[in-house]
A and B are shown apart, each in its own frame.
Chain A
């Protein structure tokens, strides 16, 4: 493969690569603001200037201050090139740490901070801000400007999700390019020039497409802030874990940022994966973490009569559930798998269904309106995983919940074990159960409160996707693992583990004792889906 030399190191590149992309692939960072690996090249921030020593030299005549002579003397200086725009060519010799480059970086940095308000204490970007990082790393001097900086509008509402601060903006145009190139909606542009330059929303429009939070995500400074996250947390308190978005069948890779002091998930960020979501996530996915904390069931609930629900102890709840399951006739038990839970969870429940000899169904959220970018029409992260488990463990596709309601109405079922939160057909099922008390017993394994948990005789809380590791099989057929971010509260267990406990109590023996066992067992089921490759390591953020 053809190579270029960056600071004496051989760096391979592909045809059409720019210098910065070749360096980025190797994990070498050339400082930059406006360049983003997923966007077109703007080359307007001038932070990535490098010296190219090979080929035809371009030297510019300059006047250099000579302190010995106390006057300017003629000198030359190499013409620096933006690494984000300069195509790599065979044998190119690039220097990123020469004195000329360092001087240019320091000057660019000083220029960008000329009118900056330095309101870091009230800025949500503080702690992950390029201006802060590069000021420490590359700016050699303090600010020399003494006069009052130019003031521009602050806290401008761009739309339902984004607030803009023009004073902090460095005009890198990343947000404009995200709207143009990712969402295909030219809703942002810039107006004025010089130090009055600012981003604005097209007149009569709002920033309201499906990828508005990506504008905030790519903003290297605190100019764009999301209403969902702003004023909520300081980023240096947050820890992060790798996860997969549970919003739809695309299965975008994400970072879960959580506060370990309060075990609270604070936001999601896209995690780069060229095969799935590249660098992006949609707005609905970005705010999907709210379900981890909103409407959670934390203790088992039981009801003597419909409508009356009381918290009960784990021992009581489990013995009641086991009594119901042991006394049930296997033919008249229905187990409802969930397209919202991990393959591991569904496998655990399927083992229980097999032990009981139960019929199986699949609960899923109804389709939503996808787009051609990332949002899939299938609103469920793991429909393929659940069906894979049903096909291989239980021998056949699972029917939907409407079929279950018909079977209940026909009197074929009297015990239902259901997994998962709000799904299609749930309202009908709940309605049937509340209208025909005593006809059927519902055991709901769920993380969130919903119509089904309100109608169930026994509610057993289970770990959500943020609280236990697992995997989803996305629409492409890739099995993607995710990590647990926060611990589950109290005695809440992952669904598969809870099912293993019940399996042991009902039939004796545990098909799997650890998550590794579950994954081994899944690996031997039929044709195992390909596992998504681990995303490449990033060099110090984007």
Chain B
């Protein structure tokens, strides 16, 4: 059975195509002269990598481990970040402070802290989970590219060496260490 296909209702100008081509080329030429000759340029292309865009303040960049005043990691190896991590890319091995250290028997530190940045999905859950403000993604950097997979396995020293956007290794949240004058003390006779 034959099917009646409705004919498209085109005007003569549509069927000739030439006016549409002229219109499109006109738009192109208007942008061309505006961005080359006029002073009101609206060009957005950057000469990357010589020029870069400043990422927004809440951009989740590559991780860093914050440091205490003495340069040791703030991390206490509680494993909250690796628990929260949906990509399971954080590996931590906890160690205990030496006998005689004021933190001995009180808290742990990460002997090994490895993030597999290739597995990481940059969701920021680790930062959210961290109760010590020890892991942050405020570096403002994305991961530097490489052709070698092993370059994306960030170990403890690498993570500690990455500064925040302000260039420092500490965080704005203060920390009271046991033994500090600022620490309220662990001896009940002082109170």
Taking Cβ atoms with an 8 Å cutoff, the residues of A that contact B are 119-122, 126, 148-155, 157, 163, 166, 192, 196, 198, 231, 234, 236-237
Q: Report B-chain residues with C-beta under 8 Å of the C-beta of A121.
A: 76, 78, 80, 131-132
Residue in A122, A151, A163, A231 whose CB lies within 8 Å of B188: A151
* Chain B contacts with A in 126-157, Cβ cutoff 8 A: 131-132
12 contacts between A and B (CB under 8 A): A121-B76, A122-B108, A151-B191, A152-B186, A152-B188, A155-B106, A166-B188, A198-B188, A231-B96, A234-B79, A236-B83, A237-B79
Q: Which residue of B lies closest to A123 (CB)?
A: B78
Number of residues on chain B facing chain A (CB within 8 A):
22
With A121-B132, A151-B184 already in contact, the answer to whether A163 and B105 are too (CB < 8 A) is: yes
The 5 lowest CB-CB distance pairs between A and B, nearest first, are: A121-B78, A155-B105, A122-B107, A121-B131, A234-B79
A122 to B132, CA, bound (A): 10
* Chain B contacts with A in 59-94, Cβ cutoff 8 A: 76, 78-80, 83, 94
User: Taking the nearest CB of chain A, how far is it from the CB of B120, in angstroms?
Assistant: 19
Q: Which residue of B lies closest to A192 (CB)?
A: B188
B106 and A234 form a contact (CB under 8 A):
no
Q: Which residue of B lies closest to A261 (CB)?
A: B88
Q: Does B26 contact A (CB under 8 A)?
A: no
A227 to B34, CA, bound (A): 75
User: Taking the nearest CB of chain A, how far is it from the CB of B190, in angstroms?
Assistant: 8
A234 to B83, CA, bound (A): 10
Q: Report A-chain residues with C-beta under 8 Å of the C-beta of B191.
A: 150-151
B106 and A154 form a contact (CB under 8 A):
yes
A198 to B186, CA, bound (A): 13
B80 and A153 form a contact (CB under 8 A):
no
User: Taking the nearest CB of chain A, how far is it from the CB of B105, in angstroms?
Assistant: 4
B108 and A231 form a contact (CB under 8 A):
yes
Q: Report B-chain residues with C-beta under 8 Å of the C-beta of A153.
A: 186-188
B186 and A154 form a contact (CB under 8 A):
yes
Q: Report B-chain residues with C-beta under 8 Å of the C-beta of A152.
A: 186, 188
- For the A-B complex with A119-B107, A152-B186, A154-B106 known, give 14 more contacts whose Cβ atoms are closer than 8 Å: A121-B80, A122-B78, A122-B107, A149-B184, A151-B184, A151-B188, A153-B187, A154-B186, A155-B105, A163-B105, A198-B188, A231-B94, A231-B108, A234-B78
A151 and B186 form a contact (CB under 8 A):
yes
Q: Which residue of B lies closest to A119 (CB)?
A: B107
Q: Report B-chain residues with C-beta under 8 Å of the C-beta of A155.
A: 104-106
Q: Report A-chain residues with C-beta under 8 Å of the C-beta of B83.
A: 234, 236-237
Q: Which residue of A lies closest to B178 (CB)?
A: A154
* Chain B contacts with A in 170-191, Cβ cutoff 8 A: 178, 184-188, 190-191
B131 and A120 form a contact (CB under 8 A):
yes
Q: Report A-chain residues with C-beta under 8 Å of the C-beta of B185.
A: 151
Q: Which residue of B lies closest to A126 (CB)?
A: B78
User: Taking the nearest CB of chain B, how far is it from the CB of A183, in angstroms?
Assistant: 25
Q: Which residue of A lies closest to B132 (CB)?
A: A121
Q: Report A-chain residues with C-beta under 8 Å of the C-beta of B132.
A: 121
Q: Report B-chain residues with C-beta under 8 Å of the C-beta of A150.
A: 188, 191
Q: Report A-chain residues with C-beta under 8 Å of the C-beta of B105.
A: 155, 157, 163
Q: Which of A122, A152, A157, A198 has the most CB of B within 10 A?
A: A122
A121 to B75, CA, bound (A): 10
Q: Which residue of B lies closest to A122 (CB)?
A: B107
Q: Which residue of B lies closest to A157 (CB)?
A: B105
Q: Which residue of B lies closest to A166 (CB)?
A: B188
Q: Report B-chain residues with C-beta under 8 Å of the C-beta of A151.
A: 184-188, 190-191
Q: Which residue of B lies closest to A120 (CB)?
A: B131
Q: Report B-chain residues with C-beta under 8 Å of the C-beta of A198.
A: 188
User: Taking the nearest CB of chain B, how far is it from the CB of A414, in angstroms?
Assistant: 50
Q: Report B-chain residues with C-beta under 8 Å of the C-beta of A120.
A: 78, 131
User: Taking the nearest CB of chain A, how far is it from the CB of B185, in angstroms?
Assistant: 5
A166 to B189, CA, bound (A): 13
User: Taking the nearest CB of chain A, how far is it from the CB of B103, in angstroms?
Assistant: 9
A196 and B188 form a contact (CB under 8 A):
yes
User: Taking the nearest CB of chain A, how far is it from the CB of B151, in angstroms?
Assistant: 26
Q: Report A-chain residues with C-beta under 8 Å of the C-beta of B188.
A: 150-153, 166, 192, 196, 198
User: Taking the nearest CB of chain A, how far is it from the CB of B66, in angstroms?
Assistant: 14
With A151-B184, A152-B188, A153-B187 already in contact, the answer to whether A122 and B106 are too (CB < 8 A) is: yes
User: Taking the nearest CB of chain A, how far is it from the CB of B109, in angstroms?
Assistant: 10
Q: Which residue of A lies closest to B107 (CB)?
A: A122
Q: Which residue of A lies closest to B190 (CB)?
A: A151
User: Taking the nearest CB of chain A, how far is it from the CB of B94, in angstroms?
Assistant: 6
A120 to B79, CA, bound (A): 11
Q: Report A-chain residues with C-beta under 8 Å of the C-beta of B131.
A: 120-121
User: Taking the nearest CB of chain B, how far is it from the CB of A267, in angstroms?
Assistant: 16
A166 to B188, CA, bound (A): 10
Q: Which residue of A lies closest to B104 (CB)?
A: A155
Q: Report A-chain residues with C-beta under 8 Å of the C-beta of B107.
A: 119, 122
Q: Report B-chain residues with C-beta under 8 Å of the C-beta of A236.
A: 83
A152 to B108, CA, bound (A): 20
Q: Report B-chain residues with C-beta under 8 Å of the C-beta of A166.
A: 188
Q: Report B-chain residues with C-beta under 8 Å of the C-beta of A148.
A: 184
A265 to B186, CA, bound (A): 34
User: Taking the nearest CB of chain B, how far is it from the CB of A127, in angstroms?
Assistant: 9
User: Taking the nearest CB of chain B, how far is it from the CB of A146, in angstroms?
Assistant: 14
Q: Report A-chain residues with C-beta under 8 Å of the C-beta of B76.
A: 121-122
Q: Report A-chain residues with C-beta under 8 Å of the C-beta of B94.
A: 231
A74 to B104, CA, bound (A): 55
User: Taking the nearest CB of chain B, how far is it from the CB of A358, in angstroms?
Assistant: 49
A166 to B186, CA, bound (A): 10
Contact with A along B88-130 (1 / 0, CB 8 A): 0000001010000000111110000000000000000000000
User: Taking the nearest CB of chain A, how far is it from the CB of B131, in angstroms?
Assistant: 4
A503 to B104, CA, bound (A): 56
Q: Which residue of A lies closest to B94 (CB)?
A: A231
Q: Which residue of B lies closest to A167 (CB)?
A: B186
User: Taking the nearest CB of chain A, how far is it from the CB of B135, in angstroms?
Assistant: 12
Q: Which of B78, B79, B96, B105 has the most CB of A within 10 A?
A: B105
User: Taking the nearest CB of chain A, how far is it from the CB of B134, in angstroms?
Assistant: 9
Q: Report A-chain residues with C-beta under 8 Å of the C-beta of B80.
A: 121
Q: Report B-chain residues with C-beta under 8 Å of the C-beta of A237.
A: 79, 83
Q: Report A-chain residues with C-beta under 8 Å of the C-beta of B184.
A: 148-149, 151
